[in-house]
Structure 1
Amino acid sequence: NAAGLWAREVGRMVGLELPVLAMEHMYLITEDMPEVIDFNKTTGKELMHCVDFDGEIYLRQERQGMLMGTYEKACRPWSPLTTPWDFGHELLAEDIERITPELEVGFRHFPAFNNAGIKKIINGPFTFSPDGNPLVGPVRGLRNYWSACAVMAGFSQGGGVGLALANWMIYGDPGFDVFAMDVSRYGDYATLAYTNAKVRENYARRFSIRYPNEELPAARPLLTTPIYDKLKDAGGVFGAYYGLEQALWFAPKGEVDQFSWRRSNDFDVVGAEAKAVRESVGLMETSGFAKYSVKGSGAEAFLDKLLTCRIPAIGRMTLAPMLKHDGKLIGDFTLAKLGEGDFLLIGSGIAEAYHMRWFESLLPKDGSVELQALGLSLLGLSIAGPNSRKLLQKLTHQDLSTAEFPFMTIRRMDIGMAPAIVGRVSYTGDLGYEIWMRPEHQRYIFDLLMQEGAEFDIRLFGLRALNALRLDKSYGSWSREYRPLYGPLEAGLNRFVALSKEADFIGKAAAAKEKAEGGTLRLRTFILSARDADVIGDEPIYHNGAVCGWVTSGGYAHGSGLSVAVGYVPKGIADETQGWSIELLGELLPAQLQAEPLFDGDGARMRA
């Protein structure tokens, strides 16, 4: 499906509603300009392309004149429900008044335009996805159906889209990490109305730089859980991930996010949330994780081939990397065995459709495996901190002592009157428990935990505090540290790759080769001498003054009181203790290699 303006119609032929919408887009072309002609003669070059973020316009040379275009705030979708089959790429009616505010800024910033004649005004439709990136790749559930849609900038994006698809079709893999343009990054929540709202927002912000703590409001809230109102009443500030509202932090009354590249007004509050976890007990919602049920007589053999880990015993969990055939990471999960032929797999929420496509392509044809993405039919809460066991023990008759319920144990149990699945594990790196329940029980369990947790000064915490806490432990995350660019040895996950197990899991030969040869990179943690800002990802890492690596994620580890950066560097220098620095907001800052986790380095507290 490379049908451009008709992508929706071609998708609907097979029952597929693609999240794509065409927008009217206008630009003007001037007559020949003396300034352009003179520049060309003097330099022998064309004028460079230009984007003016303040004016939200772009410029480029067009013959011996100039083109000025804009992504205006007063944007207009074109044919939002259906695309006429008889549309022949005609131009649309001009509506210069709609883009006048942007043009006025452009003419003010580039005075030569004031003396130029306008030769032509162009208005035509072109397509966008909700986030502005293409929709590329095989479509889950449709055999040999491929998408190459929403390619907004054909000349600049077409080559990459074509290469990815060619590799994918011929070799079964795009050849590089294309998740940002993978059609599977959207789920069923991306309806026609959702797409309309998000595309208009994206178009109107095309030249607006998004701050790292900025959450965009269009098409929200859409997916919520039964405790959404309770979290909101408690000051919850939310972000939307895979359509679901998830609490980022809990603001004092009257506070809202103040967008910034530097530490913002959430800094002290997030620190207090993290401190509550480390000192007593905190509670957060975990419904945003992807949950998969894998059942049947062939479930264990299927998972043994799919994942690199050893299959745990009944009532136990393990970390479970997943590789492509070339040995690169395609997922990281927690695998739990609830019973014979009964498994629960927990992974990244934003990758649910992405992973389901992979799982389903590998299912045995004999019907021996029943695979289901549980979505919002299974919701979660997590409690963590030194008093988390005391709190949970008040709510169940089962013995939660380490002897009876050790680290990485999972069991069905009642919490108060409600049935649940409880696992002793926490992404905070502290003593903690994940509690999974049906939607109708979530409010009850939440209220019970908050009520009984008052004795321990229980505090709600959000995803920003969770990020701070996982940095204390140097834990990686999907789409940051764990991507199809890296092997498990490079990513520090090699201890969960059971090369000696009998099953010939996908990527086993490549993982064995990586182990033998050592790969090329290593994931490392650094302490940064930062003052009022922290890394967010993609900052360059230097060693002895030369760029050698890149940051994958980071932030302020409030529990340790340090600014942390996690990233990849060449294996040959990965254990050097001196000479490191990281560029942050244009400033080169000293960095120190942190070989051990900042918190609970030997895992004693987590396993206590």
Structure 2
Amino acid sequence: MTMDAQVLIIGGGAMGVSLMYHLAKAGWRDVVLTEKNDLTHGSTWHAAGLCTHFAHNPTIQELRATSVRLYRDILPEETGDSCGFHPSGAMRITSNPDRMDEFAHVAGLSRFTGYELRLLTSPEAVADLHPLARTEGILGGIYEPDDGHVDPSLATNAMAKAARAMGAVILRQNPVTAIRREGDHWRVETAKEVIRARHIVNAAGTWGWEIGHMMGLNVPSVPVLHQYLVTDTVPAVAERIAKGLPELPMIRDPEESWYVRQERDGLILGPYEKDAQPWSIDGVPPDFGAELMPPDLDRVEHIIMAAMARIPALETGGIKSVVNGPITFTPDANPLIGPAHGLPDAWLLTGSSMGVMEGGGAGWFLAHWMTYGAPPMDALAVDSRRFGSWADRDYRVKKAVECFGLQFGVHYPYEERPAARGKRLSALHDRMVARGAVMGAAYGWERPNWFSDRAGDEAVPTFRRANWFAHVAREVATVTASAGLADLSVFSKFEVTGPEARAFVDSLGANRAPKAGRIGLIHALTPAGGTQSEFTVSALGDDRFYLTSAAAAEEMDEDLLRARVAGHDVRIENVTGDLGVIALMGPKSRAILSALTEADLGAAFPWLSVREITVAGIPVRALRVSYIGELGWELHASRGDMPALFDALEKAGKPHGMGFFGAYAMNSMRIEKGYRAWGADFTTERSPAETGAGPMIRPEGRGFVGREALLRRMAAEDRWDMVLLAVETDSVDPFYSHAVLHDGKPVGIVTSGTYGHRTGQTLALAYLRQRDLRDGLTVEILGRPRPARVLDTPPYDPTNERMKA
């Protein structure tokens, strides 16, 4: 028997059922969900059900907040059934000063997003909220009054009931056995029938890797065993109930790596050990469904003892049961949501270690994306394409173990976690390290963050100015006075060739393709007019274009290009791994490069132009473009030629005092120029005009995706506006997600920030949702409001004289 479906969702946990509910609510028809066993089997059924608003990213926070609203308010009203939501509130406590900085940062973000998270600045404030907790050694914490916990099975079944009432179909005890593409549909073979679906969604959770394998896709998730224990009656809790006192707030101690919540007249204790235990890495046992592993409390005994020392009442309740079951982790502990790379009409909604906490919101998020062609918020933190084929078995296992162990780790800005590094190395990697590069990771690539003169130097994580601050200042000074060399090989790179190449590039976005020999920016839009991608476009001829973009955008941009090429006689080639890039920047860059080439680097090679030249006998695609505001070139050459090109440039640069610079120096210098960055400042939420790219927009005379929406947003009186701020501060510089305040009320959000070493100013790029505000602004950084003023022009070389020299 064959069944037709507009969409087939594979997996009946909280994530998949939420998507079924939200798609049905959005008007989709023939929505079918197939489940290997029964709803909630896998990890949903044994989840502790914690729900929170705490998050370091506004999109993740909205997933969690949406889940709370759904379980607490919407589903009970729609179905008449309770989801078992307990509005207990929650708190996190700490003895770590850095953690207090983290709490202040999250509280500041939440002021902008509108969710109340209250800093607790003393042990007494903690004791007032949780009278069973000892507070010796505690500095404070953060209180989340709207948090709570939910019954995972009740919530999932309430979503299923509402979805069925809207016509959705659920197939239980129906495992998928094969998946393949047939024409414009997916053919999915199951135990009961064949399903022909226009769209398929991998929401398989514990089985996500296996279903991905059937789809021909690498899904970098790993089941990891997590234990929690449930106590018998705790007298202190029973006494509170007898007195009619409210439920205790959930409490987490991230330093000791545990959480505790009330469960009737007992408590639940959940520890996260550092040495996580991956489970069934290459395939879940066929008969696994609602089973648990035997308890293994020896692994977490030290954490249990620490929790009992903090909450002595735990000792008074015997262990009633121990839950030891798998939950899935991705390499960064965020879920995988969005299009499946390279596969038409295929989607991922899996990999969440917080499936119940995020599931209600995750289903809403993907349903919006599938319905409207773009996510409702910036998706970079969850986009299923943020890991490529380089995220192999070794990577996903090591990162899952690391993320589990750092479930309660401090989230520092500029943090570089050490597990599974070195997956993608540029041809210059060893040379960079030999010259003092301290490396960071960008989409699997190793890239220099900064350069040290001490062997083995590493960044010390902090929310304040780090140990690399002076090193970056030196790099900037060298580039400004002489010249600097940087390895930018991590760029995503695409070649677009063919007789209709110009027409195709012209149709990509809000900016026209540049003339032959010139360089321009093209912003590809979502249907809603937001910025989906930003390409630097070099026109090598009317039938040859070279596009570069951010490292993290490689799979996303390749998908976009291939999706929009239909109807054009064009060939698209991803050459990211074939070419390397050296940036040579600074006032002496022309003199250095002239010593190695016969090409005219003067008037015949103006700013924003591209030439194919020979440098030290090596064919080079030279782009006269600069992201840092100095005279300079990007030199793109074959990977095999990069070492020789580097050696020649280094030798030619030594008499001129040339040095090296990394990503941190580049960030400082680009913000001094007011340059926006994709993924931080350019996002799908805001149009290019709102981001400050209005002068480059050329919407007339042609069609492109998002054009009408862009024009409406440009004309709207309530559109947002990005500004460059000079912030008065001392040793704490803005980085991202700080609230911008006016008269104490949140009116904007910082997207990126830095200290500008050339200008001696602390700077931040920020969106204001009230465009007319210019005076009386402050930026709240780690709990303190810092005066800020809007800069009408970039503080460094506003007329671009240095780049045009």
Class of the TM-score when normalised by the shorter of the 2 chains: over 0.9
2: CA distance between counterparts of 1:165 and 1:148? Answer: 7
1:377 to 578, 581, 590: 578
Q: 5 Å matches for 1:348-427?
A: 348-365=550-567, 368-401=569-602, 403-427=603-627
Distance 1:429 1:43, change over 3 A: farther
Shift of 1:134: 1.0
Question: d(CA) in 1 for partners of 2:770 and 2:482?
Answer: 39
Q: Which SS does the other structure have where 1:84 is aligned?
A: coil
Matched, 1:272 2:469: no
1:242 to 439, 443, 450: 443
Select 1:227's aligned residue among 428, 442, 453.
428
Change (3 A) 1:312 1:43: farther
What letter matches 1:439 in structure 2? Answer: R
The worse-fitting range, judged by mean Cα deviation, of 243-252 and 258-267 is: 258-267
Q: Which AA in structure 2 matches 1:583? A: E
TM norm structure 2: 0.73
Aligned mate of 1:524, from 702, 709, 723: 723
Alpha-carbon shift at residue 141 of structure 1 (Å)? 2.1
In the alignment, the residues of structure 2 paired with residue 154 and residue 253 of structure 1 have an alpha-carbon distance, to the nearest angstrom, of: 44
CA distance in 2, matches of 1:196, 1:465: 33
Give the structure 2 partner of residue 446 of structure 1: 646
What residue identity is the alignment partner of 1:290? S
Q: CA deviation at 1:71?
A: 1.4
Q: Tell me, in whole angstroms, the C-alpha distance in 1 between the residues paired with 2:585 and 2:447.
A: 18
Aligned twin of 1:601: 798
The amino acid across from 1:380 in the alignment is V
Q: State the Cα distance separating 1:431 from its structure 2 match.
A: 1.0
Matched, 1:580 2:774: no
Tell me the CA shift for residue 533 of structure 1: 1.4
Q: Does the aligned pair in 2 maintain the 1:251–1:269 contact within 8 Å?
A: yes
Q: Which amino acid aligns with 2:622?
A: V
Give the superposition deviation at 1:44.
4.6
The answer to whether the 8 A contact 1:489-1:519 is kept is: no
Distance 1:390 1:98, change over 3 A: same
Identity %: 34
- The answer to whether the 8 A contact 1:290-1:346 is kept is yes
Which residue type is aligned with residue 157 of structure 1? E
Contact 1:223–1:243 under 8 Å retained in 2: yes
- Equivalent residue number for residue 136 of structure 1: 337
Q: State how far apart, in whole Å, the 1-side matches of 2:242 and 2:637 are.
A: 72
> CA distance change for structure 1 residues 144 and 421 in 2, over 3 Å: closer, same or farther?
same
Q: Distance in 1 between matches of 2:242 and 2:799?
A: 68
Partner of 1:80: 281
Q: Equivalent residue of 1:181, what SS? A: coil
CA distance 1:359–1:184, change in 2 (3 Å):
same
Matches within 5 A, 1:11-410: 11-42=212-243, 44-254=245-455, 255-365=457-567, 368-401=569-602, 403-410=603-610
AA aligned to 2:219 is L
Structure 2 CA distance for aligned equivalents of residues 555 and 42 of structure 1:
53
Contact 2:486 2:660 in 1 (8 A): yes
Q: Do the aligned partners of 2:588 and 2:656 also contact (CA within 8 Å) in 1? A: yes
Counterpart of 1:350, as a letter, is A
SS in 1 for 2:689: coil
**Could you report, residue by residue, the CA deviation over 1:560-579 in whole angstroms, capped at 9, with x for unpaired residues?**
111111101134334x2x31
Maintained 8 Å contact 2:376/2:685: no
> Match of 2:578, as an amino acid?
S
Question: Equivalent of 1:568, from 757, 763, 767?
Answer: 767
Partner letter of residue 520 of structure 2? Answer: T
**Structure 1-normalised TM-score?**
0.97
User: 1:481, 1:552 within 8 Å by CA — same for their partners in 2?
Assistant: yes
- Aligned-partner Cα distance in 2 for 1:269–1:211: 19
Tell me the equivalent position of 1:503.
702
- Deviation per CA, 1:315-346, whole angstroms, max 9, x where unpaired? 11012112112111111121111123100011
Q: CA deviation at 1:409?
A: 0.7
Q: 2:510 & 2:387 partners in 1: Cα distance?
A: 27
Which amino acid is the alignment partner of residue 219 of structure 1?
A
> Alpha-carbon deviations, 1:498-540, whole Å to 9, x = none?
022x221221112222222245211111111111111110011
Post-superposition offset of 1:544: 2.8
Q: Is 1:554–2:756 an aligned residue pair?
A: no
What SS does the aligned partner of 2:493 have?
strand
Mapped to 1, the partners of 2:722 and 2:359 lie a distance apart of: 32
Whole-angstrom CA distance in 1 between matches of 2:213 and 2:415: 34
The offset of 1:481, in angstroms, is 0.7
* Structure 1: distance between partners of 2:714 and 2:739: 27
Q: Helix, strand or coil: the match of 1:375?
A: coil
Report what 2:686 is aligned to: 486
Aligned residue pairs total 603
Question: Aligned-pair RMSD on alpha carbons?
Answer: 1.4
Instruction: Report if the CA contact (8 A) 2:502-2:513 is conserved.
Output: yes
Q: Are the aligned partners of 2:372 and 2:527 in contact in 1 as well (CA < 8 Å)? A: no
Q: CA deviation at 1:43?
A: 5.8
Alpha-carbon distance between aligned partners in 1 of 2:432 and 2:375, rounded to the nearest angstrom? 40
Report deviation, 1:144.
2.1
Asked if 1 retains the 8 angstrom alpha-carbon contact of 2:275 and 2:401, the reply is: no
Aligned 8 A contact 2:426 2:490 in 1 = no
The whole-number CA distance in structure 1 between the counterparts of 2:525 and 2:781 is: 32
- CA contact under 8 A between 1:490 and 1:519: conserved in structure 2? no
**1:74·1:99 contact (CA, 8 Å) conserved in 2?**
no
Distance, in Å, in 1 between the alignment partners of 2:672 and 2:374 is 35
Deviation for aligned residue 1:75: 1.1
Task: Confirm or deny: 8 A CA contact 1:296 1:370 kept in the other structure.
Answer: yes
Structure 2, gaps ≥5 residues long: 1-201
Deviations 1:264-292 (A, max 9, x none): 21111100101111111011011111111
| Amino acid paired to 2:387 | Y
Q: Deviations over 1:294-327 (max 9, x none)?
A: 1111221111111221221111101211211211
The Cα of 1:355 is off from its aligned counterpart by 1.6
